[in-house]
């Protein structure tokens, strides 16, 4: 973790004064846990989860998503203003809450779709996490419940297509296998 944090600190800021770290990989690979550990190493910086930015299960990775990320996160950072993004409520199936974050030295965005080509120009470091395929589904269902099994099977197919289409893992500065 210290080596990655050191690389972040050595990197060039590409989004205002903020060094943006992107963490991507399949659901269940440990992105959220890793992001929060890295955030603590980086002075407790904010972490934004892609789960909070998707608009539900149906075609979550789309142009609208990246337009919102640009407008609500990257543009304010480039202008050294507060981030003001809308968080999706998965129980009410709609965007409800607005989240405000002051600009900081670092920002981590983690989740499937974080390393989409439309986000890359704003990031200083890209991290790919993966795990054994059987472990991925087990972790997600253990965390979120058996009731999402069918949706997760569809999700896993979608994310594999996304990873292949954009060669996401190849864009990483660090690629890590989790247990």
104-122 per-position pLDDT tens digit: 999 999 999 999 999 999 9
**Helix or strand holding residue 24 (H, E):** strand 19-24
Task: Walk me through the domains of the chain, giving residue ranges and CATH numbers.
Answer: 2-52+106-177 (3.40.50.300)
What is the per-residue pLDDT for 134?
84
Give the pair of three-digit tokens for residue 177.
């296998």
The lowest-confidence range among 65-69, 70-74, 118-122, 131-135 is 131-135
Identify the band that residue 142 occupies on the pLDDT scale cut at 50, 70 and 90: very high
**Model confidence pTM above 0.85:** yes
What is the per-residue pLDDT for 81?
96
The DSSP annotation for 54-114 comes to S-SSSS-SSHHHHHHHIIIIIHHHHTT--EEEEEEETTTTEEEEEEEE---SEEEEESTTT
Cα-based angle 84, 89, 95 (whole degrees, multiple of 5): 50
**From CA 166, how far away is CA 143, in angstroms rounded?**
28
Does 7 score more than 90 pLDDT?
yes
What is the per-residue pLDDT for 58?
85
Does 99 score more than 90 pLDDT?
yes
**Helix or strand holding residue 48 (H, E):** strand 47-49
Does 167 score more than 90 pLDDT?
yes
Q: What is the mean pLDDT of residues 154-170?
A: 96
DSSP 129: E
Does 77 score more than 90 pLDDT?
yes
14-68 per-position pLDDT tens digit: 999 999 999 999 999 999 999 999 999 999 999 999 999 999 988 899 999 999 9
Which percentage of the chain shows pLDDT scores above 70?
100
Give the pair of three-digit tokens for residue 7.
């690389």
Cα-based angle 21, 103, 68 (whole degrees, multiple of 5): 70
Residue 42, number of CB atoms within 10 A of its CB = 22
User: How many Cα atoms are found within 13 Å in the side-chain-facing hemisphere of 99?
Assistant: 17
């Amino acid at each position: 973790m210290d080596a990655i944090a050191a690389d972040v600190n050595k990197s060039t800021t590409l989004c205002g004064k903020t060094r943006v770290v992107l963490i991507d990989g399949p659901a269940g690979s440990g992105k959220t846990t890793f992001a929060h550990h890295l955030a603590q190493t980086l002075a407790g910086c904010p972490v934004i989860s892609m789960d909070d930015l998707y608009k539900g299960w149906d075609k979550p990775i789309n142009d609208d998503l990246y337009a919102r990320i640009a407008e609500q996160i990257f543009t304010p950072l480039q202008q050294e203003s507060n981030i003001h993004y809308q968080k999706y409520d998965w129980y009410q199936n709609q965007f409800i809450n607005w989240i405000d974050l002051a600009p900081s030295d670092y920002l981590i965005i983690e989740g499937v779709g974080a390393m989409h080509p439309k986000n890359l120009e704003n990031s200083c470091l890209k991290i790919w996490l993966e795990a054994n395929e059987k472990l991925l589904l087990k972790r997600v269902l253990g965390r979120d419940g058996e009731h999402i099994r069918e949706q997760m099977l569809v999700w896993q197919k979608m994310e594999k297509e996304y990873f292949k289409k954009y060669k996401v893992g190849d864009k990483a500065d660090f690629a890590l296998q989790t247990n």
